[in-house]
Structure 1
Amino acid sequence: MADNLLDMAIRQLGSSGIDALSGALGLPADRGESAVKTGLSTVLAGMLNKGSSKTGMGSLFNMVSDSSGLDFSSIADIFKDPAQMSSLQKSGGNMLEGIFGGKAGNIGDLVSAALSGSDKGGSLLKVAAPVVMSLLGKLVKGKGLDISSLASLLLGQKSFIKDKIPDGLLKELDVSSFDKLGDSLVTHGHAQPQEPRPQAVHAQEKKRGGFGKWFWPLLIALAALYALNMCAKKEKMGEEPGEVILDEESVIIEETPNGAVTPPDTAAPTTDEAVDFTGSFTEYLTNPARDPNREFPLTIEFAVDSAEVTSASAPDVDALAKILQDHPGLTIAIEGHTSGEGDEIKNQQLSQERADTVRQMLVEKGIDPNRVTATGMGSAKPVADDGTEEGKQKNRRISVRVVTFE
């Protein structure tokens, strides 16, 4: 069962914090807790709706990751201090704008109506938003949640908020019914992939027959031969000082309209990171102590500012499809990443489109779409210094991460 964020918030705020908030906003003292739950539920409903777009969930993940956590140990003092309260509500107002857009004011009015005609609905939401973001931020950092896990966590809140959102909210969000709220988180591949169908697993196991008995020993032997071969190359290079062995690197040079040459916009690992995808990924699958958050870059090239694949072939994608076919219990997440250069909203959209492209390539190779999610991370997860051109190039990538493996 998902963590109940409403109960978590009430525990973190405590009776003293709720009383202080009620006093600061002029809410009836005996309705403080129910008012807080209404505000929190409204924010969570807005996040579910926001996350239903392809780029919306990525934007929420960035908001949660970037939010500064509240000090709940002194939350009552924050609510009682006008200066701190003003700063908190200013931050909350920006969050509400990110969640609800231009509808934040109308939704504040709906909350006011739910509070028996109080005019403090908007003010309450400006506190509820930072509280929700702070709780989610702690869960993301503490449990190492990724964007798919965050989407699943949000979906798990539906049963807790159902009877606590204000009347008219779904209509304001253009959602036809409560059951439809957040449904597209699954449709767009943000929530955890479904488990493979049992009959598919059974059929694949029958097909493999006795193959599994000698597959892994053969793989280990091949890996050992590869390592010996690399050692031999290094020794040869050491014996022949004049000879340098270079790793191959594919580069696309594109010309801008004014004739200037621009660097390639690729999602390929740089030379020092370029390892055999098939070998490293397969070895990872054999390790029972594997890091669940480890990502593997896929070598694939795109046109600048586009999700159009420019390479004639994509060996890593082909290899990934083969691995998925060989392991029917494997589900994965394809994640698109960009550098922090340029507009973040456009980066988010571009990273989503590129992840979608790779997912579609796998589907076209016969992979069940339920086994693959596609998520655009934008610039939320850099792996290198974004202040250098080399770092930016490393941050522009498509990666694959294991979600489940049986």
Structure 2
Amino acid sequence: MADNILDMAVRHLGSSGLGALGNALGLPAGKSESAFSTGAASVLAGMLNKAGSESGLGSLLNMATKSTSMDLSAPGDIFSDPDRMRSLQDVGGNILGALFGDKKDGIFNVISNALGLDSTKSASLMRIAAPVVMSLVGKLVKSKGLNMEGLAALLLGQKTHIKDQIPPGLLDELGADSLDEMAERTVVETTPRETAHAAHTSPPARRSGIGKWLWPLLIALGVLWALNMCAKKEKVDDGTGGVVMEQDEVVVEEAPAGSADDPMTTPDTQKEIPMDSASGDFATDFRAYLADATREPGKEFPLRIEFPADGSMPNTDSLPDVQALIKVMQENPGLNIVIEGYTDSDGDAGANQKLSEARAQAVMLMVTGAGVDTSRVKAVGMGPANPIADNSTEEGKQKNRRIVVKVDSFTQ
């Protein structure tokens, strides 16, 4: 059974939270739940729309992961406290800016017309709904260990829950004729890898579950190219003003492991094992290298990163090192890098080459999706080339399956 995030959000607020929300915003008596549902459904529609490109989907995964630090465990208390409400709405404003961009004001007008509210109240409502929804999505991403493909599937599952709650005119503001049209853009593929155990048959490509939207050419390539490689830098406040939800507040409806209903619940994973380095911490070692005027050219810096078996979309556990790389790139505008993907020597060399390219490109999209200019990042697939360990042992194969970062050029 698919998770109903809209219902989870309403249940989390409860009658006390909804009442406090209505009082804080001056909503008509008895209208708090319907108003909040409209706002939350609109936020979910915005997320589904943004998931139409890999760069957008990567940004959503980053935002959802960061949102787990917010404290929304007592919504009624937050809505009754003016200072905490301002903090929550600041966070919500950042989320809405990332989701809707320059369409945000138009979205507020749609909400105003649908609910009969003035623009100030509709904007406040949306700034509250956004962090509530995003925190729930973040908890689901974390509890299920979802990668970009899993997040896409989660958002696709919301279509039936929000279709009767989104206000008239919202889809027009988002440039879509229907939710189905949005859903058709929300698909992420992973690349199959031929192994020695399946030399005569190619395994089927993993998909988001809606087969009619598969693009044969992109299956062959193994990864969707970003539709928008120049996404704006999108930041979400980490909620230091005290804005998060206890883990046990989320009701997660999970299919049993390996079930056909939810193949993304417990994906097999394959960890990339980092090479030995000075401290073992990517950010520390990379910054020290950049600060060294006598640095060795071409030095490899491995990312601790995890992919589904034979897949190209990084899992949630991969985000810390990728986010650290994004921060280093933002700190050093004169830094250009190359991201290289490697595999072990098992299986077909051509399939290994494609898989290494797809994985390197997936990491590159996460970096550029955070606002780093595309001209500063290259992605290269190296296949089984340049092994750093013995491919005849399992330990050696693990070391050879890696993603590394190299400096292409650096001007301080």
The normalised TM-score by structure 2 is: 0.54
Residue 2 of structure 1, CA deviation: 2.2
Residue 116 of structure 1, CA deviation: 2.5
Alpha-carbon separation, structure 2, partners of 1:139 and 1:348? 30
Q: Give the match for residue 113 of structure 2.
A: 113
Residue 337 of structure 1, CA deviation: 3.3
Q: Which has the higher contact order (CA 8 A, sep 6+)?
A: 2
CA contact (8 A) 2:54 2:365 kept: no
Aligned residue-pair number: 267
Residue 305 of structure 1, CA deviation: 4.0
Change (3 A) 1:308 1:25: closer
Give, as a single letter, the amino acid of the residue that structure 2 aligns with 1:45: A
Q: Specify the SS of the correspondent of 1:183.
A: helix
Residue 262 of structure 1, CA deviation: 7.9
Q: Note the 1:140-159 alignment, pairs <5 A.
A: 140-159=141-160
1:334 to 359, 379, 390: 359
Structure 1 unaligned runs (5+)?
206-259, 274-280, 286-291, 296-303, 363-392, 398-406
Alpha-carbon separation, structure 2, partners of 1:193 and 1:316? 15
Alpha-carbon separation, structure 1, partners of 2:406 and 2:102? 32
1:172 has 2:173 as partner: yes
Q: Give the match for residue 99 of structure 2.
A: 99
CA contact (8 A) 2:199 2:348 kept: no
Change (3 A) 1:62 1:81: same
CA contact (8 A) 1:48 1:154 kept: yes
Alpha-carbon separation, structure 2, partners of 1:203 and 1:340? 34
Q: Give the match for residue 137 of structure 2.
A: 136
State the structure with more CA Rg: 1
Change (3 A) 1:42 1:348: farther
Change (3 A) 1:344 1:308: closer
CA contact (8 A) 1:338 1:395 kept: no
1:18 has 2:11 as partner: no
Residue 343 of structure 1, CA deviation: 9.9
Structure 2 unaligned runs (5+)?
203-292, 319-334, 385-402, 408-412
Change (3 A) 1:346 1:5: same
Alpha-carbon separation, structure 2, partners of 1:100 and 1:111? 14
1:56 has 2:60 as partner: no
Change (3 A) 1:347 1:22: same
CA contact (8 A) 2:55 2:368 kept: no
Q: Give the match for residue 272 of structure 2.
A: none
Question: CA deviation digits over 1:73-121, x for unaligned, max 9?
Answer: 3110100111110111011101111111111111011111111344322
Change (3 A) 1:294 1:34: closer
Q: CA RMSD in A?
A: 4.5
Residue 127 of structure 1, CA deviation: 0.4
Give, as a single letter, the amino acid of the residue that structure 1 aligns with 2:84: Q
Moved more, 29-38 or 9-18: 29-38
1:204 has 2:201 as partner: yes
Alpha-carbon separation, structure 2, partners of 1:308 and 1:23? 52
Change (3 A) 1:269 1:70: closer
Residue 54 of structure 1, CA deviation: 2.7
Alpha-carbon separation, structure 2, partners of 1:92 and 1:138? 17
Give, as a single letter, the amino acid of the residue that structure 2 aligns with 1:165: I
Change (3 A) 1:320 1:204: closer
Q: Specify the SS of the correspondent of 1:145.
A: coil
Residue 64 of structure 1, CA deviation: 1.2
Higher percent of residues as helix: 1
The normalised TM-score by structure 1 is: 0.54
Q: Specify the SS of the correspondent of 1:17.
A: helix
Q: Give the match for residue 345 of structure 1.
A: 371
1:4 has 2:1 as partner: no
Q: Give the match for residue 401 of structure 1.
A: none
Alpha-carbon separation, structure 2, partners of 1:49 and 1:15? 30
Alpha-carbon separation, structure 2, partners of 1:84 and 1:172? 30
Q: Give the match for residue 84 of structure 1.
A: 84
Alpha-carbon separation, structure 2, partners of 1:183 and 1:169? 18
